[in-house]
């Protein structure tokens, strides 16, 4: 379970996240929507501490995973990231073979058992619905895949180290409709085993795939509710305006 308590976040002097508290249940899909620049990605990156990589930032409040504050001094960040996988907006496979891409997380974790790695690679590619398309060219460069395949490879890569949470930042925004629907189907099946948090600009997508939806605006969490409720009968007027396309 993910939980944030009064999270505030600054880029330098810019107050990017304002007092955000939310709870995300296990094995659910949560969508974050909101206008560009409202802080969705920033908030998402809190959960695997990718914001740590950006210099001159500052955080207050608590961010808990299964009750543990992931920002406490004793937390091992690399261990955290093995538990919280991430898929980026643009597919970013490594300049390596398909096989090595998926095996990467295991290898940096010190796994050297070849048989085990091979099994995990196959399982992960199957989970990411990519196995049939690549099983004959595992030793080929990942760059030979199409954009949609590359994104599923990135999902497989994240699955290979058995995380419990997967963060996705607009994972289908660079893809064609067919690839997009493949990713959406995938998210649907992955929900059984993973907690998924996804940022999207596509309202229909949020409505189709998520159980809960959070609407962000100007660094604030305006509304966080069951997806049905957010789209059919939101509590807040700003939400209503946003999802019906009327801004401001």
Ligand X SMILES: Nc1ncnc2c1ncn2[C@@H]1O[C@H](COP(=O)(O)OP(=O)(O)OP(=O)(O)O)[C@@H](O)[C@H]1O
Q: Which of residues 127-166 bind other proteins (CB under 8 A)?
A: 141, 143, 154, 157-158, 161
- Euclidean distance between CA atoms 226 and 110, whole angstroms: 40
**Binding site partner of 36, from Mg ion, ligand X, other proteins, none, Cβ cut-off 5-8 A by kind:** ligand X
Residue closest to 51 by CA, chosen among 103, 91, 4, 100: 4
| Member of 2, 4, 7, 16 binding ligand X (CB under 6 A) | 16
Question: What is the CA angle 8-227-182, rounded to 5?
Answer: 100
Stretch that binds Mg ion, among 34-42, 102-110, 120-128, 209-217 (CB under 5 A): 34-42
Whole-Å CA distances, 78 to 27, 84, 112: 23, 10, 18
Q: Kindly tell me which of 151 and 179 has the beta carbon lying closer to other proteins.
A: 151
Shortest Å, Cβ 105 to other proteins: 4
68-69, strands of its sheet edge to edge: 14-24, 2-11, 57-65, 68-69
| Member of 17, 29, 39, 82 binding other proteins (CB under 8 A) | 82
| Member of 17, 46, 63, 86 binding other proteins (CB under 8 A) | 86
**Binding site partner of 120, from ligand X, other proteins, Mg ion, none, Cβ cut-off 5-8 A by kind:** none
Shortest Å, Cβ 243 to ligand X: 15
Task: At 9, list the tokens.
Answer: 């976040």
Under rule CB under 6 A, how many of the chain's residues touch ligand X?
12
Using rule CB under 8 A, residue 104 touches other proteins: yes
- Euclidean distance between CA atoms 218 and 175, whole angstroms: 27
Using rule CB under 6 A, residue 148 touches ligand X: no
Under rule CB under 8 A, how many of the chain's residues touch other proteins?
29
Q: Kindly tell me which of 12 and 79 has the beta carbon lying closer to ligand X.
A: 12
Q: Which of residues 96-125 bind Mg ion (CB under 5 A)?
A: none
The count of C-alpha atoms lying within 13 angstroms of the C-alpha of 187, restricted to the half-sphere facing its C-beta, is 30
**Binding site partner of 232, from Mg ion, ligand X, other proteins, none, Cβ cut-off 5-8 A by kind:** none
Using rule CB under 5 A, residue 41 touches Mg ion: yes
Using rule CB under 8 A, residue 177 touches other proteins: no
- Euclidean distance between CA atoms 27 and 31, whole angstroms: 13
Chain residues binding other proteins by CB under 8 A are: 48, 50, 53, 55, 78-82, 85-86, 88, 90, 92-96, 104-105, 107-109, 141, 143, 154, 157-158, 161
């Amino acid at each position: 379970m993910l939980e944030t308590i009064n999270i505030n976040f600054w880029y330098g002097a810019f107050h990017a996240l304002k007092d955000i508290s939310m709870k995300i249940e296990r094995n659910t899909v949560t969508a974050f929507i909101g206008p560009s620049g409202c802080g969705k990605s920033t908030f998402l990156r809190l959960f695997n501490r990718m914001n740590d990589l950006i210099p001159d930032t500052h955080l207050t409040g608590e961010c808990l995973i299964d009750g543990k504050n992931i920002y406490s001094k004793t937390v091992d960040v690399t261990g955290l990231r093995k538990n919280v996988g991430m898929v980026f907006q643009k597919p970013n496979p490594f300049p390596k073979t398909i096989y090595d891409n998926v095996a990467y997380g295991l290898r940096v974790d010190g796994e050297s058992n070849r048989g085990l790695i091979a099994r995990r690679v196959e399982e992960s590619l199957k989970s990411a619905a990519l196995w049939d398309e690549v099983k004959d060219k595992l030793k080929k460069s990942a760059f030979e895949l199409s954009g949609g395949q590359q994104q599923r490879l990135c999902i497989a890569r994240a699955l290979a180290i058995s995380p419990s949470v997967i963060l996705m930042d607009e994972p289908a925004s660079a893809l064609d409709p067919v690839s997009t629907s493949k990713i959406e189907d995938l998210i649907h099946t992955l929900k059984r085993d993973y907690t998924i948090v996804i940022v999207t600009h596509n309202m229909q997508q949020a409505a189709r795939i998520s159980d809960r939806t959070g609407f962000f605006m100007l660094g604030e969490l305006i509304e966080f509710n069951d997806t049905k409720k957010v789209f059919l009968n939101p509590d807040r007027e700003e939400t209503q305006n946003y999802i019906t396309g009327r801004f401001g």
